[in-house]
Amino acid sequence: MAQRRSSRALTYGGGGSGAVNFSDGWGVAAGTGVDIPQGNFNYIFKPAINFNASVYRFLGPFTASLSLGYMNFKPDEYFISQTIEGSSSTANTYYADMPVISAYGGAAYNIDIADNFRVYGGVNLGVYFTDFAVAYEIDGIDPFVYDKWSQSLYYAPKVGVIFPITPKLGVSIESKYNFFSQKLTLGDASAKQNWNSLSLGAELVFKF
C-alpha cells in the first residue's frame, strides 16, 4: 500500500521540497549589513556596520514586520582646521561618532519567481534616535558645542529576495535607501539636516 505524503504548507512555490514556507505564519530574524552615507551625509561620515532584529508576519503575498536596529557612524575626520578666507583666523571643527538606534515597521509585497524563491518590494517607516555631536571654534575662543540625542522620522523604500536553506531557516538579502532628518536644537536656535544612506544587508529568518 502506497504511503500518503502530507502536502502541508512546507513551500510557497508548490514544489514540495520541504523548504520553509514564507507565505504564512511567523518568523524572527537577526541580520547585519552596511549603511553607506549619500550626498552631504557622505562628506562627514564613513560607512557603518548595522545590526538589526525583526519579527515577521507572513500573509500570502504580503509581509509585515517590526524591527530594531543599531549602527554607529564614524566621521571621516574627527578634527578639521581651516584658515578663514580673507583673515588670519583659524576655524576648528570637531566631530564625534554618531550612534543611531532605529525602531520601525515594514510592509512588503512578494512575487514568487521560482519554487522556493521570492522577490519583494516595500517600505519601512519609523524613527531614528541619534546622538549628534559637533564643536566649532575660531582661534580657540568661545567654542560652540552641540551634543544631544534627538528623534527623527525615518522611512526607506526597499527591495530584496528571500529563500530557504532548511525547513525552519531562510535567508533574506535586502537593499534599502534610507531617509531621515537630523534636527539640531540649542536653546532658542534650531536647524534641520536631511540625510540619506544606502543600506545593503542580509538576515537569517527563523520560521515558526
Going by pLDDT thresholds of 50, 70 and 90, the confidence category of residue 141 is: confident
Percent above pLDDT 70 for the chain: 86
**Number of helices and strands in the chain (H, E):** 1, 10
- In this prediction, residue 103 carries a pLDDT of 98
Radius of gyration (C-alpha) of the chain in whole angstroms: 23
DSSP 8-state class, residue 2 = P
Q: Is residue 29 a part of any domain in this protein?
A: yes
Q: Is residue 13 a part of any domain in this protein?
A: no
Q: Is residue 138 a part of any domain in this protein?
A: no
Report the distance separating Cα 181 and Cα 67, nearest Å.
Answer: 19
- In this prediction, residue 186 carries a pLDDT of 58
- Predicted TM-score (pTM) of the model is 0.81
The 3-state DSSP class for residue 41 equals: helix
Q: Would you say residue 10 has pLDDT above 60? A: no
DSSP 8-state class, residue 94 = E
Give the rounded distance of the alpha carbon of 42 from its chain centre: 16
Report the distance separating Cα 94 and Cα 135, nearest Å.
Answer: 5
Q: Is residue 155 a part of any domain in this protein?
A: yes
Q: Label residues 110-136 b or e (16+ Cβ within 10 Å = b).
A: bebeeebbbbbebebebebebebebee
Top-confidence residue, 142 or 49: 49
Instruction: Give the model confidence (pLDDT) of 16-33 as tens digits.
Output: 444 566 888 999 999 999
Q: Is residue 63 a part of any domain in this protein?
A: yes
**Nearest in space to 21 (alpha carbons), one of 66, 67, 59, 65:** 59
Burial of 66 by CB count in 10 Å (0-12 exposed, 13-18 middle, 19+ buried)? middle
> CATH number, domain at 33?
2.40.160.20
Q: Is residue 15 a part of any domain in this protein?
A: no
Q: Label residues 45-57 b or e (16+ Cβ within 10 Å = b).
A: bebbebebebebe
Please, what is the average pLDDT of the chain? 85
Task: Find out whether 12 and 42 touch, Cβ atoms under 8 Å.
Answer: no
Instruction: Give the model confidence (pLDDT) of 29-64 as tens digits.
Output: 999 999 999 998 898 899 999 999 999 999 989 999
Going by pLDDT thresholds of 50, 70 and 90, the confidence category of residue 13 is: very low
Q: Would you say residue 86 has pLDDT above 70? A: yes
For the record, the C-alpha cell of 56 comes out as 515577521
Domain holding 176, by residue range, is 24-72+98-129+150-207
Instruction: Give the model confidence (pLDDT) of 149-206 as tens digits.
Output: 788 899 999 999 998 888 889 999 999 999 988 776 655 556 677 889 999 999 999 9
Report the distance separating Cα 43 and Cα 33, nearest Å.
Answer: 21
Q: What is the mean pLDDT of residues 78-100?
A: 86
Q: Is residue 8 a part of any domain in this protein?
A: no
Task: Find out whether 26 and 208 touch, Cβ atoms under 8 Å.
Answer: yes
- In this prediction, residue 188 carries a pLDDT of 59
Q: Is residue 52 a part of any domain in this protein?
A: yes
Top-confidence residue, 11 or 41: 41
Task: Find out whether 150 and 184 touch, Cβ atoms under 8 Å.
Answer: yes
The contacts of residue 125 (CB under 8 Å, 6+ apart) are: 104, 105, 106, 154, 155
Instruction: Give the model confidence (pLDDT) of 66-85 as tens digits.
Output: 999 999 999 999 988 888 88
Instruction: Tell me how many domains the chain contains.
Output: 1
Q: Would you say residue 11 has pLDDT above 60? A: no
